[in-house]
Amino acid sequence: MSPNATSRDAAGRPRRCGRAPSVANVTAELGLCLAATRGVVVRAMAFDPNAPAQPGSGIFGLPHSAEEALVVLVPVPWEATTSYGGGAAEGPRAILDASRQVDLFDLDVDRPYQHGIHMLPIPDDVAAWNEAGKAAAAKVIEAGGAGEDPALLEALAEVNALSEKVNERVEREVLRLLAAKKIVGVVGGDHSVPYGALRATAKHLERSFGVLHFDAHSDTRQAYEGFAHSHASIMHNVLEGIPEVERLVQVGIRDVCEAEVDYCASQGERAVVFYDRAISRRKMEGEPFAKIAREIAAALPSQVWVSFDIDGLDPRYCPHTGTPVPGGLELVEAVAVLREVVRAGKTIVGFDLNEVAPDLADEDDEWDGNVGARLLYKLVGFTLASRGRAKLAD
């Protein structure tokens, strides 16, 4: 919440900013919007970026439709293979709800909202697949794997089939948006959800690119618990299934199995891991994080997809995420890495944010959604800046 957010809206939520819309502001901003969205019809509603979010407004309180927006966010309420704590399927809703409190002016990238940001409706079909998938997966997880049990093998096959449906749906949606020249961000859901988006990006770009992966976990397990598209297997699947991904750069990793360490090492230069242990030690020895951030950026190829698992951050930023691990990045450190990626002249070709889970026991607790929304806005902002569509502050 911003320091000047003292009043509350009709729903009792703190307002973003107490300032009343002024005619001069509205006119100036509409002018900016028109200038920024050449050829696109901007709806006549008076939008004031300094005012509180309007009831019924979209993500970040913005008025843009999918057609008007340059940035389109794809929510994926899917967490069937979550093995520990649940709630990530509610991530898109929690982020959307909390996003209306985010101040639109951004000290890193000025006015990223000018090009329009829209979140697609949370899809009912994926939510239904999630319910079915979770019920089937729970039996397998409880038994510690399907083994030779025919009923469990059937449940496992059902989960894997549903995962493939999610992947195909996300891939189709993202391909359609990329063809319409949109900038795409995927909002999970668990960490299995961006796979389809990465496949779509590979097809659309027709060239190689890198993945910058923030996470506490390596996510390079092969078919974790038997699930082909487990949240814990996403980067294994990416490296094995998407040859266009020329390099994976992982940051914040601190909870891995030995097979994952060996697997990443076996990838040679294709996988570069900035373990949390190494980052922490360097900081303890007095190295500035800015230097580490530049090193991370330098390890990336020129085209970069950012895959952000919220648990890459210190868990006080994401207390209800499914698999929290002590340690991790500060939010400002993650932002510093994104900033260095842009400063290094790399192009962010798309991004995902996943594993944000609200407190399911207390619906008034917006903290996880709040951090998620703010990080999402930064991802949007730096992506736009990397494409010359937002100004990077000094």
Looking at beta carbons only, is 311 or 314 nearer to Mn ion?
A: 311
Closest distance of CB 255 from Mn ion, Å: 8
Packed helices 234-241 and 195-205: angle between N→C axes, nearest 10 degrees? 30
Burial letters for 119-141: b for 16+ Cβ neighbours within 10 Å, e otherwise?
bbebbeebbebbeebbebbebbb
Map residue 241 onto helix, strand or coil.
helix
**How many angstroms separate the CA atoms of 79 and 85, rounded?**
10
Total residues contacting Mn ion by CB under 5 A comes to: 5
Spell out, one character per residue from 215 to 244, where the chain touches Mn ion: x when CB under 5 A holds, - when not. Answer: xxx---------------------------
Query: For Mn ion, which is the closer residue by CB, 185 or 252?
Result: 252
Nearest to residue 220, comparing CAs of 185, 248, 187, 252?
A: 248
Q: Which is nearer to Mn ion, 237 or 303 (CB)?
A: 237
Interhelix angle 195-205/150-179, rounded to 10 degrees, is: 40
Longest dimension (CA), the chain: 70
Residue 56 to residue 261: CA distance in whole angstroms: 47
What are the residues facing 350 on neighbouring strands? 305
Name the region of 219 (left: φ>0; alpha: ψ -120 to 50; beta: rest).
left
User: 48 vs 215, which CB is nearer to Mn ion?
Assistant: 215
Q: In the window 29-88, what residues touch Mn ion (CB under 5 A)? A: none
Q: Which residue is nearest to Mn ion (CB)?
A: 217
**Residue with Cβ nearer Mn ion (103 or 215):** 215
Q: Which residue lies nearer to Mn ion by CB, 255 or 340?
A: 255
Instruction: Report residue 103: phi and psi, to 5°.
Output: -70, 140
User: Least Å distance between CB 311 and Mn ion?
Assistant: 4
Least separation in angstroms between residue 201's CB and Mn ion is: 21
Residue among 309, 314, 366, 368 that touches Mn ion (CB under 5 A): 309
Nearer to Mn ion, 158 or 215 (CB): 215
Task: Give CA–CA dist 142/128, Å, rounded.
Answer: 21
Nearest-approach distance from CB 247 to Mn ion, in angstroms: 20
Which range touches Mn ion (CB under 5 A), out of 90-98, 127-135, 142-150, 308-316? 308-316
Residue 200 or 235: which CB sits closer to Mn ion? 235
Closest CB 178 distance from Mn ion, rounded Å: 26
Which residues 190-219 are close enough to bind Mn ion by CB under 5 A? 215-217
Which residues, in sequence order, are bridge partners of residue 73?
119, 185
Tokens of 100: 């209306």
Minimum distance of Mn ion from residue 216's CB (angstroms): 5
Nearest-approach distance from CB 325 to Mn ion, in angstroms: 8
Structure tokens at 245: 């991904």
Q: Which of residues 310-349 bind Mn ion (CB under 5 A)?
A: 311
Answer for the pair 51, 19: CB distance below 8 angstroms, yes or no: yes
Whole-number minimum distance, CB 6 to Mn ion, in Å?
36
What does the binding site for Mn ion look like in residue numbers (CB under 5 A)? 215-217, 309, 311
